[in-house]
Amino acid sequence: MPETGNGDTLTVTDNRTGRTYEIPVNEGVVRASEFRKMKAHEGDFGLMVYDPAFTNTASCRSAITHIDGEQGILEYRGYPIEELAEQSSYLETAYLLLYGELPTKSQMDEWTHDIKFHTYVHENIKKFMEGFQYDAHPMGMLVGTVAALSTFYPDAKHVADPVSRDIQTMRLIAKMPTMAAFAYRHNRGLPYVYPDNDLSYTGNFLSMLWKMSEPQYKPAPALERAIEVLFILHADHEQNCSTNAMRSVASSEADPFSATAAAAAALYGPLHGGANEAVIRMLGIIGDKKRVPEFVSRVKSGEDLLWGFGHRVYKSYDPRAKIIKRTADEVFELTGPNPLLEIALELERIALEDDYFVQRKLYPNVDFYSGIIYQALGFPVDMFPVLFAIPRTVGWLAQWREMLEDPEQKIARPRQIYAGATRRSYTPIERR
């Protein structure tokens, strides 16, 4: 970490020994390794810091995504999410996240061409996917298939080679929609649709999902744009659970396909990428606007969670939720309203006025409205985490590349406080 040069320090007195230590403070951070110098006696390991779930630990320096949770600000490489959602495309935003700058026209053309060049998957990947049970969860299929890709691209293990990193990055971004759409078609018992590289990144995804017997699928521009916006909003979110998994697994120099599978597995969980599915189930259980107060009481008494509310970082309205709410209105103009929206709006209204939520700074997060849109677009709830994984792939990859180029990073290996039995002797089974 570079010195900021302001000379800020923290003075700590260890009352066990009476010794005083001066610890540098840079960028509002102290290094945990400084505490190791504080030893109670000769031969002591030194102090550790205890932080389950990393609630107050920075694991890296990153120049990709900035979040101000108090103010509700989200920026990719300095650009506000609102401007990107309004004016950018998913592929352009992906380029920005990976390379740090918006592309010029010729860079964008080349980038778009390169991604389209890699949209097809090996026929054996198709066969691999056909081997899943007819009712396999599409996210499980995606996690398994992304991992399987590493066996198709053994060159991906050359993680120190920047050229190889670029190729794997393009392959992953290009193939995620293809595998996601195949997983969806598999679930429906429909034949898989091959990529149509005349369409945009999102238009092609819609084609692989919905195309039937027509010679070319023509996506409705408003729907294509809605998916584009949702993909931009989900592209990165700094050190969340799945990104941390990506960095942690890739810190052992595992290939990016294996690491992305691990990240996608982390995203699968209901507290992370599965929350929008839980929101839809919750709204379905509430069933009617009139029953919202009753449900809110259950949440307050700890019997349930208000899914799609609360965030580890945002302590105000999630800026992505604001944009999604607007996108929902545009989608509903085309698809007709989702009846669950009325319940969601009432839930938000009541929760935002209630002391329980106000005091805990619980606001709608990105997942509160995204599921309602996905459902209106015709996606089954099982597809929701898949729809999150496709765009988040670029975030995982940008973070992976940044980590590999960071000279301070090494294999991730947290410490523990051992709280188990003290040393004892083995007892043979007949004497237990």
Distance CA 132, CA 189 (A): 12
Closest approach of ligand CMC to the CB of residue 213, in Å: 38
Q: Could you write out the DSSP letters of every residue in 286-353?
A: H-SGGGHHHHHHHHHTTSS--TTB--SS-SS--HHHHHHHHHHHHHHHHH---THHHHHHHHHHHHHH
How many angstroms separate the CA atoms of 2 and 361, rounded? 34
Beta-carbon contacts of residue 343 (< 8 Å; ≥ 6 apart):
283, 286, 287, 288, 289, 292
- Both tokens of residue 39? 């030893």
Residue 345 Cβ, how far from ligand CMC at the closest point, in Å?
Answer: 17
Q: Which is nearer to ligand CMC, 52 or 154 (CB)?
A: 52
Coil/strand/helix, residue 13: strand
Q: What is the smallest separation between the CB atom of 267 and ligand CMC, expressed in angstroms? A: 7
By beta-carbon proximity to ligand CMC, the closer residue of 148 and 340 is: 340
Sign of CA dihedral 138, 140, 144, 147: positive
**CB-nearest residue to ligand CMC:** 310
Measured from the CB atom, the residue of 359 and 416 that comes closer to ligand CMC is: 359
Taking the complex as a whole, the smallest distance from the CB of residue 361 to ligand CMC amounts, in Å, to 8
Q: How far is the CB of 362 from ligand CMC (least distance, A)?
A: 5
- Which of 272/289 has CB closer to ligand CMC? 272
Shortest Cβ 153–ligand CMC spacing (Å): 28
CB of 138 within 8 A of CB of 184?
yes
Catalytic residue positions?
272, 311, 367
Instruction: State the Cα–Cα distance between residues 225 and 203, nearest whole angstrom.
Output: 9
As a residue count, the chain comes to 432
**In this complex, which beta carbon is closest to ligand CMC, that of residue 1 or of residue 358?**
358
Is-contact 126 152, C-beta < 8 A? Answer: no
Residue 46 phi/psi, 5° resolution?
105, 165
CA gap 178, 173 in Å, rounded: 10
Residue 182 or 388: which CB sits closer to ligand CMC? 388
The footprint of ligand CMC (CB under 6 A) covers 237, 240, 271-273, 275, 299, 305-312, 360, 362, 365-367
Is 238 in contact with 65 (CB distance < 8 Å)? yes
